Structure formats: C-alpha cells, structure tokens
Chain A
Amino acid sequence: MARDLAHLSDEALVALVARADDSALAELYDRYGGVAHGLALRIVRDRTLAEDAVQEAFLAIWRSAARFVPERAKASTWILTLVHRRAVDTVRREEPRRAEPLETAQQATADTTEDEAWLRLQRARVQEALRRLPDQQREALELAYYGGFTQSELADRLGEPIGTIKSRMFTGLARLRELLAEPGHEEERWNAPEFTS
C-alpha cells in the first residue's frame, strides 16, 4: 500500500522510484495523477489520449528518475513538465481534434481531503494570478500552455509578428512568476467567492 510513504517529500519519492520502488511511483501518482490527468485532458480534449499521455509521462518518470537532479528543479515541476510535453506532442500529432469543443468539465465532487483542499488552493492562486496578467500576455500563455500551439502557430493565429509573441510569452511568464510569488495572496484567495463556486 502506497500510503505508508505519505510522509516522504516528492524528491524522496523520486529517489525511491530511481531504485525501482513501485510503491513510491504509486504514491507520486496519487499526489499528481489527478493534476496530470486534468492538464492532459485540457490539452488533448480526448479521454483516451489524455490517459495515454499521463501513462507515458509516469512511465518516463519510472525510467528516468535516476537522472532527476533535485537541486535543479522541484519534483512536481519535473513531473508536470513531462506530462505537459507528452500532451502537447499528442495534440500536435492529432491536429484535427483541436477544432473540437472542450468536453464539459465535471465538477470535482468530494472536497473533504487535505490533498483536495490543497489542490483547490493552488488552483485559486493560479487563477487569481492569471486574472491579474495583461490580457495579451494571458492569452499568449494560455494558448501556448493549454492549447499546445507553437510560437509560429500563435503568431499566425493572432496575426502578430513572431517577435511580439515571443516577448508576450517571456514577459507574461516573468510577470506570472512575480504574481505567484506575492506573499499572502493565497490566504486572501482562500475565502474568495469564485473559489467556492
């Protein structure tokens, strides 16, 4: 049972995964599988393809955990980066699906556990930070990150020179980083109206 690893940090779990400890992989999945799946689904807009992307990403974690360098990145960043890359690769391969409407999202139901509360907090933080970004920067980040568009595709789609797109992404990410780093705003958002909706 994976739960006896609950006290370990993500980085410690990755170290165990590097030693082929499958219960550590299970624990990482229990921590990030939900976010990973939500992200993949948002990008590829197809349940089967989203599950495939998540599966490939977790198997990549399994295979390459020994190469993860904790000094360089948080384990969660590494994991979500792997998932994102897989999902983007998928959506670029499956080009026609992009035109399809996003599936209606299900509301996550149970909101009782600590993990779920933490996830909702994260979500509220990110949404608030995005809301405070200038529109054009937010648009560039969202289309790139959730849409899986390349910078050239973005330039075409938005009818802007590629240089403009590059700097919107750069400035937007830098600004988003600042906004997310602002102290206190997590507590502030915790009880915000849109959080409970």
Chain B
Amino acid sequence: MERTGIHELSAAYALDALDDAERAEFEEHLVHCADCRDTVALFRETAASLAYDAEMPPPPPALRERILTQARRERPNVVPLRRRWAFPAAASVAAVAACAAIGLGIWAATLHNRLGERPEAVDIQGANGSLIVAPSGEATLLLRNVEPAPAGKTYEIWVIRGETAARAGTFAGGERVAVALTRDVPDGSVVAVTLERAGGVNKPTTAPLFRTGAV
C-alpha cells in the first residue's frame, strides 16, 4: 500500500513537482529503494526531453561570459577527482551479507545538486547502504543486513583523511543499522568500517569490511 504510494512519487520527483518536505522525504526513501532509483533515472531522462519543447530565443552572449568568468574564479574550490584510498583488499571474511553495493542513486549527482544546501548520500562499497553527509559534514551511516558482530567484537567506523584514520563510532550490526558518526566527514575523506574488539580501538587493526569512495 504505502509502498505503491511512495513508488508513484518517482514521477512527481522527476518532474520537480514535490514541495521541499515531500522531496526530502522521497530522497530519504530513494536511499533505500533501488526500484525507485531506477524509475527516477528513467523518468528524469523523459522529463528532461520536455526541455526541448521550450521556445529557444538565444541567450545573450554575456551570459556565457558571466558563467565562465565566475567558474574560473571558483576554480580552486573544485573537488579533485576521487583518489583511490590505498587500503588492503577488503577482508574476504567480511561479516557482511554479500549484497551488491547499493548505488546510491542515480541521482547521486542530483541529490546534491544544491551543493551546500542538502545532504548527499554516498555509496558504500562492500555493503548494502549509504552514507548521508550533510553540508556541514555531519554524517549518518545507513546499512542493511550487517551480520551481528561476534561476541567480544564491535564494528568501528573511521573517517580517513590522508594517512590518518579517526574514530567515528561503533555499532553492533543487524538488519538495519543507522549510526550518527561522532565526527564530521570533510570533503575528500573516506569513511570505512572495520571489525574491532568490543569497546573500540584507537587505530584500525583490520582491513576495512566496507567503505565509501572519497566523500
């Protein structure tokens, strides 16, 4: 019931016909629903084709110049291409139900299209889930079907910048995991999860089970 209703919203979402609250709610739903992400991707493409029906008086030449001038001025702010984090290969004994990584959305790009205004969701490699990062850097890790940590062990989250991994919280696993990170996630960092002894440790002692690309 509920599911059908929200699924139907992928059309309104693709047409930008949701108000801010509905949009935020649907984007939250998109993080978890691969079907809707697929539908939205198709609908976005169809909706974008409607753009060609608009009359096209040529834009003033000055607009092109304004855009390029402003872009050049901002150049240093452009995020670098994601760097590969030199991690050892993820542990093969990953205590993770082997789900395909949930591509965050399609709309990875779109979800963040208001840069600086709304949270973005980042794929998790090696697990079903995503990392939601607010513009402020506050982040929440959402995972599904993570095998409960064995007795005496805990999952520990790390925010890694350059060569430094900083502790960012622990969790026990389970069907649905939602953990607010205890530290901010700056641009260009990687968030990873390792299995550590209960209580957590100061530095990761095992290879990451799952992690994001550069945030």
- Distance A161 CA – B114 CA, assembled complex (angstroms): 31
Interface residue? A49 (CB, 8 A): no
Closest A residue by C-beta to B56: A38
A1 close to B (CB within 8 Å):
no
Q: Are A173 and B11 in contact (CB under 8 A)?
A: yes
Chain B residues with Cβ under 8 A from A167's Cβ?
8
Q: Are A73 and B41 in contact (CB under 8 A)?
A: yes
Give, as a whole number of angstroms, the nearest-CB distance from A144 to chain B. Answer: 4
A contact patch SS = helix
Mask for A62-102, Cβ within 8 A of B = 1, else 0? Answer: 11111111011110111011111100100000000000000
Q: Is there contact, CB below 8 Å, between A72 and B51?
A: no
Against A, the Cβ 8 Å flags (1 = close, 0 = not) of B1-34 are: 0000100111110111111001000000000000
Contacts of A127 on B, CB cut-off 8 Å? 53
B64 at the interface (CB under 8 A from A): yes
* Contact between A35 and B113, CB atoms less than 8 A apart: no
The residue in chain B whose Cβ has the minimal distance to the Cβ of A43 is B54
User: Is B49 within 8 A of A150, CB to CB?
Assistant: no
Q: Please tell me if the beta carbons of B19 and A25 are within 8 angstroms of each other in the complex.
A: no
Q: Is B179 positioned at the interface, with any CB of A under 8 Å from its CB?
A: no
CB-contact partner of A166 in B12, B51, B71, under 8 A: B12
Does B108 lie within 8 Å of A72, measured CB to CB?
yes
Shortest CB-to-CB span from B132 to chain A, Å, is: 14
A63 close to B42 (CB less than 8 A): no
In the bound assembly, the distance between CA atoms of A18 and B103 in angstroms comes to: 20
Asked whether any CB of chain A lies closer than 8 Å to the CB of B89, the reply is: no
- The segment from B77-85, B147-155, B170-178, B194-202 found at the interface with A is B77-85
Instruction: Give, as a whole number of angstroms, the nearest-CB distance from A2 to chain B.
Output: 9
A80 to B105, Cβ gap below 8 A?
no
Interface centre among B50, B55, B80 (most CB of A within 10 A): B50
Which residues of chain B are within 8 angstroms of A170 by Cβ–Cβ distance? 8, 10-12
Q: Which of A131-166 contact B (CB under 8 A)?
A: 141, 144-146, 148-152, 154, 166
Contact residues in B for A166 (Cβ distance below 8 Å) = 5, 8-9, 11-12
Is B17 within 8 A of A37, CB to CB?
no
Cβ of A68: which chain B residues have Cβ within 8 Å of it? 108-109
A23 to B179 alpha-carbon distance, docked (Å) = 42
**Would you call A13 an interface residue if the criterion is a C-beta within 8 Å of the partner chain's C-beta atoms?**
no
- B197 → chain A, closest Cβ, in Å? 36
Cα–Cα, bound, A12→B107 (Å): 18
Where the two chains meet, the residues of B that have a C-beta atom closer than 8 Å to any C-beta of A are 5, 8-12, 14-19, 22, 41-60, 63-64, 66-68, 70-72, 74-75, 77-82, 103, 105-110, 112-115, 120
Q: When A and B form their complex, which 8 residue pairs have the shortest distance between CB atoms, in order from nearest?
A: A105-B55, A38-B56, A37-B59, A38-B54, A80-B48, A170-B11, A144-B17, A106-B57
